[in-house]
Structure 1
Amino acid sequence: MDRLLSADPSVIGGYRLAARLGAGGMGVVYLARSPHGTWCALKSIRSEHADDPGFRARFRRETELAARLRSRWTVPVLAADAEARSPWLATAYVPGPSLAEAIARNGPWPTVQLLRLGAALAEALEGVHACGLVHRDVKPANILLAADGPRLIDFGIARAVGVTALTTDGSVIGSPGYLSPEQARGRTVGPASDVFSLGCVLAHAATGRPVFGVGGAAGVLYRTVHEEPDLDSVPEALAGIVRRCLSKDPERRPSVAELRDGFGRFEERGWLPEGLPALVAARAARVLELPVPQGTVTDGVPVDGWADAVTQAAGAPAGAPTSRRRVLAAGGAVLGVSAAGVGSWWRWGRSPSSGTTGAGALPRRVIGLLGDRSEAAFTAHQRGAQVAVGEHNDSAGRAFDLVLRTADDGGTAKGATAAAARLAADPEVSLVIGTGTNATAPAAVEACARARVAQLLTRADTNELDGVNLTSTLLMRPTRTAGPPAILRYLNRVVKPTHTTVVHDLTDGAETLQTVRSITVHKKLDGDATVEEIAPDGDFGAAARRIADRGDDAVLFAGVHPDRAASCARALREAGYRGPCVADEHVLGARFLAQAEGWLIGTGYTDATADPRVRAFTAAHRARFGAAPAPWAAEAYDAVRFAVHGLTALGDDDRSVLRSELLRRPWQGITRKVSYDADSEFFEAQEDAGAFLYRVRDHAIRFVARADDIGRTAN
Structure 2
Amino acid sequence: MDRLLPADPSSIGGHRLVGRLGAGGMGVVYLARSPHGAWVALKVIREEYADDPGFHARFRRETELGSRLAGPWTVPVLAADADARSPWLATAYVPGLPLSEALALRGPWPHPQVRALAAALAAALADVHRAGLVHRDVKPANVLLAADGPRLIDFGIARALGATALTTDGSVIGSPGYLSPEQARGTTVGPPADVFSLGCVLARTATGLPPFGTGGAAAVLYRTVHQEPDLAGLPEDLVPVLRACLSKDPAGRPAVDALRAEFGDFTAASWLPEGLPALVADRATGVLDLPVPDPTALSAPDPGAAPSRRRLLVASAAVGVSAVGAGTAWWRWGRAGAPTAGRRPLPVRTVAMLGDLSTAVVQAQVRGARLAVAGHNAGAGRTFDLVLRTADDRGTAAGSAAAARRLVAAPEVYAVIGAGTNTAVPAAVPVCTGAGVCLLITRADTDALNATHTTSSLVLRSTRSAGPGSLVKYLNWVVRPARTVVVHDLADAAEGEATVLAVTVSLEAGTVDSVAVAAGDGFTEVAQALSAHPDTAVIFAGGVPDRAAACARALTAAGHRGVRGGDEHILGASFLKAGTGWWISTGYCDAAADPGTRAFATAYRGRHRTAPPPWAAEAYDAVRYAAHGLAGLGGGERDALRAELLREPWQGITRRFSYESQSQYLRTGTDGGWFLYRVAGGEARFEARHDDIGENARTRGSRDAV
The answer on whether the counterparts of 2:351 and 2:387 sit within 8 Å (CA) in structure 1 is yes
The answer on whether the counterparts of 1:74 and 1:153 sit within 8 Å (CA) in structure 2 is yes
The answer on whether the counterparts of 1:605 and 1:692 sit within 8 Å (CA) in structure 2 is no
Q: Does 2:656 correspond to 1:673?
A: yes
Provide the C-alpha distance between the structure 2 equivalents of 1:570 and 1:62, rounded to a whole number of angstroms: 55
Provide the C-alpha distance between the structure 1 equivalents of 2:475 and 2:80, rounded to a whole number of angstroms: 52
Question: Which of 389, 393, 399 is the aligned partner of 1:405?
Answer: 389
Q: Which residue of 1 is the match for residue 28 of structure 2?
A: 28
User: CA 1:383–1:63 in 2, change beyond 3 Å: closer, same or farther?
Assistant: same
Q: Does 2:243 correspond to 1:243?
A: yes
**1:640 aligned partner, one-letter code:** V
Q: Which residue of 2 is the match for residue 54 of structure 1?
A: 57
**Over residues 115-134 of structure 1, what are the superposed CA-to-partner deviations in whole Å (9 max), with x where a residue is unaligned?**
33224434555677789987
Q: Does 2:641 correspond to 1:641?
A: no
Provide the C-alpha distance between the structure 2 equivalents of 1:610 and 1:155, rounded to a whole number of angstroms: 43
Q: Which residue of 2 is the match for residue 312 of structure 1?
A: none
The answer on whether the counterparts of 1:384 and 1:621 sit within 8 Å (CA) in structure 2 is yes
**Over residues 378-436 of structure 1, what are the superposed CA-to-partner deviations in whole Å (9 max), with x where a residue is unaligned?**
11111111111111121121233223233333322343344445545655443332222
Q: Which residue of 2 is the match for residue 441 of structure 1?
A: 425
Task: Please report how far the alpha carbon of residue 366 of structure 1 lies from its aligned counterpart in structure 2 after TM superposition.
Answer: 3.1
Q: How do 1:333-348 residues align onto structure 2 when only pairs under 5 Å count?
A: none
**Over residues 529-585 of structure 1, what are the superposed CA-to-partner deviations in whole Å (9 max), with x where a residue is unaligned?**
68583644x567787788789867776655434455556667778889898765543
Task: Please report how far the alpha carbon of residue 636 of structure 1 lies from its aligned counterpart in structure 2 after TM superposition.
Answer: 0.8
Q: Does 2:615 correspond to 1:632?
A: yes
User: CA 1:474–1:197 in 2, change beyond 3 Å: closer, same or farther?
Assistant: same
Q: How do 1:358-507 residues align onto structure 2 when only pairs under 5 Å count?
A: 361-424=345-408, 426-487=410-471, 506-507=490-491
Q: Does 2:198 correspond to 1:198?
A: yes
Question: Which of 601, 605, 622 is the aligned partner of 1:622?
Answer: 605
**2:568 aligned partner, one-letter code:** E
User: CA 1:236–1:65 in 2, change beyond 3 Å: closer, same or farther?
Assistant: same
**1:439 aligned partner, one-letter code:** T
User: CA 1:57–1:561 in 2, change beyond 3 Å: closer, same or farther?
Assistant: closer
Provide the C-alpha distance between the structure 1 equivalents of 2:66 and 2:564, rounded to a whole number of angstroms: 56
Task: Please state whether the residue corresponding to 1:629 is helix, strand or coil.
Answer: coil
Task: Please state whether the residue corresponding to 1:507 is helix, strand or coil.
Answer: helix
Provide the C-alpha distance between the structure 2 equivalents of 1:574 and 1:255, rounded to a whole number of angstroms: 52
**Over residues 505-549 of structure 1, what are the superposed CA-to-partner deviations in whole Å (9 max), with x where a residue is unaligned?**
54334569965572799657867768583644x567787788789
The answer on whether the counterparts of 1:175 and 1:679 sit within 8 Å (CA) in structure 2 is no
User: CA 1:607–1:77 in 2, change beyond 3 Å: closer, same or farther?
Assistant: closer
Q: Which residue of 1 is the match for residue 592 of structure 2?
A: 609
User: CA 1:510–1:13 in 2, change beyond 3 Å: closer, same or farther?
Assistant: same
Task: Please report how far the alpha carbon of residue 657 of structure 1 lies from its aligned counterpart in structure 2 after TM superposition.
Answer: 4.5
Provide the C-alpha distance between the structure 1 equivalents of 2:491 and 2:387, rounded to a whole number of angstroms: 42
Task: Please report how far the alpha carbon of residue 12 of structure 1 lies from its aligned counterpart in structure 2 after TM superposition.
Answer: 4.0
The answer on whether the counterparts of 1:462 and 1:511 sit within 8 Å (CA) in structure 2 is no
Task: Please report how far the alpha carbon of residue 621 of structure 1 lies from its aligned counterpart in structure 2 after TM superposition.
Answer: 1.9
**2:245 aligned partner, one-letter code:** C
The answer on whether the counterparts of 1:6 and 1:652 sit within 8 Å (CA) in structure 2 is no
Task: Please state whether the residue corresponding to 1:403 is helix, strand or coil.
Answer: strand
Provide the C-alpha distance between the structure 2 equivalents of 1:503 and 1:284, rounded to a whole number of angstroms: 50
Task: Please state whether the residue corresponding to 1:646 is helix, strand or coil.
Answer: helix
Task: Please state whether the residue corresponding to 1:362 is helix, strand or coil.
Answer: coil
**1:6 aligned partner, one-letter code:** P
Task: Please state whether the residue corresponding to 2:68 is helix, strand or coil.
Answer: helix
Q: How do 1:295-314 residues align onto structure 2 when only pairs under 5 Å count?
A: 295-299=295-299
**Over residues 148-181 of structure 1, what are the superposed CA-to-partner deviations in whole Å (9 max), with x where a residue is unaligned?**
543333467889xxxxx69945668974565678
User: CA 1:571–1:400 in 2, change beyond 3 Å: closer, same or farther?
Assistant: same
User: CA 1:532–1:155 in 2, change beyond 3 Å: closer, same or farther?
Assistant: closer
Question: Which of 658, 663, 685 is the aligned partner of 2:668?
Answer: 685
Output the aligned Cα RMSD. 5.1
Q: Which residue of 2 is the match for residue 19 of structure 1?
A: 19
User: CA 1:2–1:407 in 2, change beyond 3 Å: closer, same or farther?
Assistant: farther
User: CA 1:105–1:638 in 2, change beyond 3 Å: closer, same or farther?
Assistant: farther
**1:7 aligned partner, one-letter code:** A
Provide the C-alpha distance between the structure 2 equivalents of 1:570 and 1:251, rounded to a whole number of angstroms: 42
**2:654 aligned partner, one-letter code:** T
**1:369 aligned partner, one-letter code:** M
The answer on whether the counterparts of 2:99 and 2:140 sit within 8 Å (CA) in structure 1 is yes
User: CA 1:622–1:102 in 2, change beyond 3 Å: closer, same or farther?
Assistant: farther
User: CA 1:525–1:28 in 2, change beyond 3 Å: closer, same or farther?
Assistant: same
**Over residues 591-645 of structure 1, what are the superposed CA-to-partner deviations in whole Å (9 max), with x where a residue is unaligned?**
5556666665543323333334322112222333444322211111122223333
User: CA 1:278–1:438 in 2, change beyond 3 Å: closer, same or farther?
Assistant: farther
The answer on whether the counterparts of 2:18 and 2:33 sit within 8 Å (CA) in structure 1 is yes
User: CA 1:520–1:469 in 2, change beyond 3 Å: closer, same or farther?
Assistant: closer
Q: Does 2:263 correspond to 1:262?
A: yes
Q: Which residue of 2 is the match for residue 145 of structure 1?
A: 145
Task: Please report how far the alpha carbon of residue 4 of structure 1 lies from its aligned counterpart in structure 2 after TM superposition.
Answer: 0.8
**1:613 aligned partner, one-letter code:** G
User: CA 1:263–1:669 in 2, change beyond 3 Å: closer, same or farther?
Assistant: same
**Over residues 469-522 of structure 1, what are the superposed CA-to-partner deviations in whole Å (9 max), with x where a residue is unaligned?**
454433333222333344555667777767777766543345699655727996
After TM superposition, the structure 1 stretch with the greater mean CA deviation from structure 2, 408-417 or 525-534, is 525-534
Q: Which residue of 2 is the match for residue 333 of structure 1?
A: none
Q: Does 2:233 correspond to 1:230?
A: no
Unaligned stretches of 5+ residues in structure 2: 302-340, 698-706
Percent of aligned pairs with the same residue? Answer: 53
Provide the C-alpha distance between the structure 1 equivalents of 2:193 and 2:134, rounded to a whole number of angstroms: 8
Unaligned stretches of 5+ residues in structure 1: 160-164, 302-356
The answer on whether the counterparts of 2:581 and 2:678 sit within 8 Å (CA) in structure 1 is no
User: CA 1:29–1:273 in 2, change beyond 3 Å: closer, same or farther?
Assistant: farther
User: CA 1:359–1:78 in 2, change beyond 3 Å: closer, same or farther?
Assistant: farther
Provide the C-alpha distance between the structure 2 equivalents of 1:155 and 1:548, rounded to a whole number of angstroms: 47
Task: Please state whether the residue corresponding to 1:459 is helix, strand or coil.
Answer: coil
**1:674 aligned partner, one-letter code:** F
Provide the C-alpha distance between the structure 1 equivalents of 2:479 and 2:496, rounded to a whole number of angstroms: 23
**2:97 aligned partner, one-letter code:** P
**1:23 aligned partner, one-letter code:** A
After TM superposition, the structure 1 stretch with the greater mean CA deviation from structure 2, 634-643 or 107-116, is 107-116
Task: Please report how far the alpha carbon of residue 209 of structure 1 lies from its aligned counterpart in structure 2 after TM superposition.
Answer: 3.8
Provide the C-alpha distance between the structure 2 equivalents of 1:83 and 1:684, rounded to a whole number of angstroms: 25
Task: Please state whether the residue corresponding to 1:298 is helix, strand or coil.
Answer: coil
Q: How do 1:201-212 residues align onto structure 2 when only pairs under 5 Å count?
A: 201-205=201-205, 206-209=207-210
**2:679 aligned partner, one-letter code:** R
Task: Please report how far the alpha carbon of residue 40 of structure 1 lies from its aligned counterpart in structure 2 after TM superposition.
Answer: 4.6
Q: Which residue of 2 is the match for residue 116 of structure 1?
A: 116
Q: Which residue of 2 is the match for residue 342 of structure 1?
A: none
Normalization by structure 1: what TM-score?
0.72
The answer on whether the counterparts of 2:462 and 2:666 sit within 8 Å (CA) in structure 1 is yes
**1:96 aligned partner, one-letter code:** G
User: CA 1:613–1:422 in 2, change beyond 3 Å: closer, same or farther?
Assistant: same
User: CA 1:386–1:300 in 2, change beyond 3 Å: closer, same or farther?
Assistant: closer
**1:637 aligned partner, one-letter code:** Y
Task: Please report how far the alpha carbon of residue 263 of structure 1 lies from its aligned counterpart in structure 2 after TM superposition.
Answer: 6.5
Provide the C-alpha distance between the structure 2 equivalents of 1:101 and 1:548, rounded to a whole number of angstroms: 51
User: CA 1:49–1:181 in 2, change beyond 3 Å: closer, same or farther?
Assistant: same
The answer on whether the counterparts of 2:29 and 2:41 sit within 8 Å (CA) in structure 1 is yes
